[in-house]
Amino acid sequence: MAAMWEKLVILLNHTLQIYQALLQLSRKKREILVEAKPQELELLTKQEERFIIEAGKLEKLRLSTIQELAAALGIAPERAVLSELVEHADSDTAAELKKIGQQFSGLAGELTQLNELNEKLIQQSLEFVNYNINVLSQATAESTYAPKGQPETTRPGRSLLDTKV
């Protein structure tokens, strides 16, 4: 039983490290979005993806470990949550699990705030890009109709894309 508790603590600590790394990446992402550096944003997003995949793998291991602990303790699977399991752990393990839980709570709150801010920054960037595209496309648009009784004038249209290859 002690080995299962130790495995759970190790998994949670490793997951906590990944979330802390994600928090650092979110902070960097905010700076990159403000400075409008798309190449760096792409690299950062790839790093985030790797961390998220790793966190998903750890989550599966954590769930299976919790299910094993719940079965060994005689706890119903639907009640197999960390707060319930902590009550059955020895005092040192319980204290460590509570500490990890508090750290997760703090990280989750900060990550949520940063992600919301980053989402707003991305939305503003998209609106700016769309505005510029609209301004450029209106400057190159020709009228579709000529006034009644007058021939349609044809002038070479300008294009946003250079088709010379």
pLDDT tens digits for range 71-119: 888 888 788 888 888 888 888 988 998 999 889 888 988 988 888 888 8
Mean pLDDT of 15-25: 92
Q: Could you tell me if 69 and 80 are in contact, meaning their C-beta atoms sit under 8 angstroms apart?
A: yes
Q: Which two tokens stand for residue 117?
A: 């801010």
59: which DSSP letter? H
- For residues 20 and 17, give the distance between their C-alpha atoms in angstroms, rounded to a whole number: 5
List Cβ<8 Å contacts ≥24 apart for 34-39: 34/121, 36/125
Is 127 or 164 the better-scoring residue by pLDDT? 127
Structural domains in the chain plus CATH codes: 2-134 (1.20.58)
Distances (CA, A) of 121 to 17, 104, 115, 160: 26, 25, 10, 26
